[in-house]
Structure 1
């Protein structure tokens, strides 16, 4: 039983060490071109710019809590379904 636990622990440690990757700047693969320059841009975006999400892709969260309860306003379009003949 101990042998299996030790083997599982070694496997997890090896997996954790193998998953550690180096952080190097992005470079295009040899023989391939960079992406085309976007319309309206003066220069092509760098690798770091391509990896940074835009505000639209990652909007900021609104975490404001409701501090007091508010009565729901009447909705004139909240009607019951009509019965069909």
Structure 2
């Protein structure tokens, strides 16, 4: 039990020491080429920004209490 708590504390402390510097390409590398039809090359921040469809917000409400399930006509046993 003691080892597990020490390992957990070590993992949490290492996970908390991330770098806060701006992102740049590695030495000798460059950003990807300009996309077809674009006038300027996007920056690293623009390339990392996710579109709304890539990370949609949850649109369903979670159930607060047990409810009877409706019959599913496609829930068939294997043949």
| Alpha-carbon distance in structure 2 between the residues aligned to 1:51 and 1:45 | 10
Q: TM-score, normalised by structure 1?
A: 0.58
Report how many residues are paired: 60
Instruction: Indicate yes or no: 2:13 matched with 1:17.
Output: yes
Consecutive unaligned residues in structure 1, runs of 5 or more: 65-85
User: In terms of Rg, which structure is larger?
Assistant: 1
Q: Supply the RMSD in Å over aligned alpha carbons.
A: 1.9
Name structure 2 gaps, 5 residues minimum: 62-79
- The counterpart of 1:51, out of the listed 43, 48, 51, is 48
